[in-house]
Amino acid sequence: MARQHELLEVELGNAIRAQRIEHRLTQDELAQRANVSLGALKNLENGRGSTTGTLVRVAHALGQAQWVRSLAPSSTFNPLDLVGSRRTSNSRARRVRRRSTP
More confident residue, 68 or 14: 14
Q: Quick check: 78 pLDDT over 70?
A: yes
Please give the DSSP secondary-structure letter assigned to residue 24. T
Top mean-pLDDT range of 55-59, 73-77, 81-85, 91-95: 55-59
Domains of the chain are 2-73 (1.10.260.40)
Q: Quick check: 17 pLDDT over 90?
A: yes
Model pLDDT for residues 23-76, shown as the tens digit of each residue: 999 999 999 999 999 999 999 999 998 899 999 999 999 999 888 888 877 777
Residue 35 CA to residue 33 CA, distance in Å, equals 6
pLDDT reported for residue 18:
96
pLDDT reported for residue 49:
82
